[in-house]
Structure 1
Amino acid sequence: MWSPVVAGVDGSAESLAAAEWAAHEAVRRGRVLRLLHARSWHPRQDEAEFAHAGERHLARRLLREAEERVLAACPDVPLYDEQVEGPVTAALVKAADDADPLVLGSRGLGRITGLLVGSVALGVVAKATRPVVLVRADTAGQEEEAAGTGRRDVVLGVDVTEPCDEVLAFAYEAARLRHARLRVLHAWRAPDPLTLGPGEIGLVGEPQRAEEWLGFLSAVLQVWRDKYPEVEVLQTVVEGKPSGALLKAASGAELLVVGHRLTDRPRMPRTGPVTHAMIQQAGCPVAVVPHY
């Protein structure tokens, strides 16, 4: 049985935008949409029954609001809703195990303080072992725009020294489903003379280095060109920091796809610096694909 597309719902504008995005994705993939509200409550023993009923009523109202938003955008999407008890982050991480993908609302950077808002979404991304898509409220309506003549790219960030099949497969499939062009970007940095190893040549000019990196990227993508011949691909290599290059490339994109390396080390899960920057600053939906 195919996994559903799952959207986390909490009543915020971001979660409603995520539910709408997830509905379009479910239609594209031919999947069922699961609207999920995770509630975390800790009432006193003498208030337990009353508080529990109140939480269920609120969750039902939030889910109904999300259903109305979804059906207005995608009247034919098959869907069902569900309430689960928290902790919220743990409940959503568990939901991600059976999702394809899990879609959550993200506020990105606060407009006044510049501080990251949305610790639940960030915590889920850090711990989930399946893809998670983060959607901002100000991207609402982009699905309809992309369905018209103004179709936009799917952007993929790739490190050609450590390419990952899971990330590449997600991006190619996303582009195929949308009939969109896939823009694959690798950012490289010129070698520091102080860090060159024995026998390494540091006098090669920038055009030659760029051409060499483009060759590496082309080699990485060759097998995927064979698997997805219908997907138009634009290969790009730029000199500079990956985060800055990706943010520029993703401006106006339909979807940005980045990887998140998982680890078995017994420490607090966290995202890498590039993925973290994309979650905070990218103006389009961001798909974070975990891999080892």
Structure 2
Amino acid sequence: MTGPVTVGADGSPAALAAADWGAHEARLREVPLRLVHAWEWQPCSHEPPAGPGAARRWSETVLQETTVQLRRRYPGLDITADFLTGPPPEVLCEAGREAACLVLGSTGVGGLAGFLLGSVAMATVAHVEGPVVLVRAPRPDEDGRPGQEPATTPSLRVVVGLDLSHPCDEVAHFAFDAAALRATTLLVVHGWSPPAYYGAFGVAPEPDWPGIEAAESESLRETLLPWREKYPGVDVIGQAVVGQPAHHLLDAAADASLVVIGRRNRPSRAVAPRIGHLAHAVLHHSPVPVAVVPHD
């Protein structure tokens, strides 16, 4: 997709980290950066002491200050800022419809503990029609202030998890693009489990582990073949691994710049936010940005 990189901006340390990541991504893709702030008026029984327009004025200031900071850090980048009114998940989903990707901040809890995914981010990730990237807030420094941890580490590899039992073209396309843009290695992880009947009731035959492993590896090789041909400059490593894919992806994320995972499309936005077990685990524990790509 050739639309802008769109970032949800609210002035928090996580959102500022997301804005920086989005600006870097926009420069890599050679597309504009769009900052979006979603403001929703909340009725209350008593007028706030600062006046009814204080919250709105503060929100507008946050958007302006973020734009100024990014223009200083990324001279020449085409940056626009939109102050929009409405429920944040709906506004962000609409903003992400035509974007190359939507970037959101998510609160880090320190160390490798990963993300705290708020209700707005959860609802947006569950319903947005295009790719969405979650970026952690930087860890606080010794003074308790936001640190200066780099938002991107382009030299590190990109990791993607592929479920070969479902169509995964959108996920593979995003991952190969990300690796090509960063001129780095792409690690493709396919997690698999033996058929459920093995070991059932203690009478099933011993699994043919070498045969199963060979079949899974061959299936992954065949899936990646057309993508290798389309992206000949990307160094690709394929791993067909037994067990829960989330564990393998999180292990691989330790020395990665980005993790890419898929999410099955939901038929209706009325459905309660659900992102799937894999996405839930990776989003909450990855130490690096995570791209969630919807697919059929």
Q: Is the TM-score greater than 0.5?
A: yes
Structure 1 gap segments, 5+ residues each: none
Confirm or deny: 8 A CA contact 2:167 2:295 kept in the other structure: no
Q: CA deviation at 1:114?
A: 9.4
The reply to whether residue 104 of structure 1 matches residue 104 of structure 2 is: yes
Choose which of 254, 258, 262 in structure 2 pairs with 1:251.
Answer: 254
Choose which of 170, 175, 193 in structure 1 pairs with 2:174.
Answer: 170
Query: The residue matched to 2:255 in structure 1 has which SS?
Result: coil
**1:267–1:142 CA distance, 2 compared to 1 (3 A):** closer
Choose which of 266, 273, 277 in structure 1 pairs with 2:277.
Answer: 273
Indicate the residue corresponding to 1:93 in structure 2.
Answer: 93
CA deviations on 1:38-92 (whole Å, 9 max, x unpaired) are: 11113469969x9564233212221133124323432221101110012111111
The reply to whether residue 203 of structure 1 matches residue 212 of structure 2 is: no
What does 1:25-44 align with in structure 2 at a 5 Å threshold?
A: 25-43=25-43
Indicate the residue corresponding to 1:138 in structure 2.
Answer: 138
**1:2–1:216 CA distance, 2 compared to 1 (3 A):** closer
**1:54–1:236 CA distance, 2 compared to 1 (3 A):** same
**Separation (CA, whole Å) in 2 of partners of 1:56 and 1:241:** 45
**1:16–1:181 CA distance, 2 compared to 1 (3 A):** same
Indicate the residue corresponding to 1:60 in structure 2.
Answer: 60
Indicate the residue corresponding to 1:84 in structure 2.
Answer: 84
What does 1:206-285 align with in structure 2 at a 5 Å threshold?
A: 207-264=210-267, 267-285=271-289
Confirm or deny: 8 A CA contact 1:108 1:117 kept in the other structure: no
**1:276–1:109 CA distance, 2 compared to 1 (3 A):** farther
The TM-score with structure 1 as length reference comes to 0.87
**1:37–1:163 CA distance, 2 compared to 1 (3 A):** same
**1:176–1:114 CA distance, 2 compared to 1 (3 A):** closer
Q: CA RMSD in A?
A: 2.7
**Separation (CA, whole Å) in 2 of partners of 1:115 and 1:14:** 10
Indicate the residue corresponding to 1:286 in structure 2.
Answer: 290
- The aligned amino acid for 1:169 is H
Query: The residue matched to 1:248 in structure 2 has which SS?
Result: helix
Over the matched positions of the two proteins, sequence identity in percent amounts to 39
**1:271–1:46 CA distance, 2 compared to 1 (3 A):** closer
Confirm or deny: 8 A CA contact 2:115 2:283 kept in the other structure: no
Confirm or deny: 8 A CA contact 2:217 2:240 kept in the other structure: yes
Confirm or deny: 8 A CA contact 2:108 2:138 kept in the other structure: no
**1:45–1:121 CA distance, 2 compared to 1 (3 A):** same
Q: Number of residue pairs matched?
A: 281
Query: The residue matched to 1:235 in structure 2 has which SS?
Result: strand
**1:267–1:123 CA distance, 2 compared to 1 (3 A):** closer
My pick for the range that moved more, 187-196 or 32-41, is: 187-196
**Separation (CA, whole Å) in 2 of partners of 1:178 and 1:161:** 28
Structure 2 gap segments, 5+ residues each: 140-148
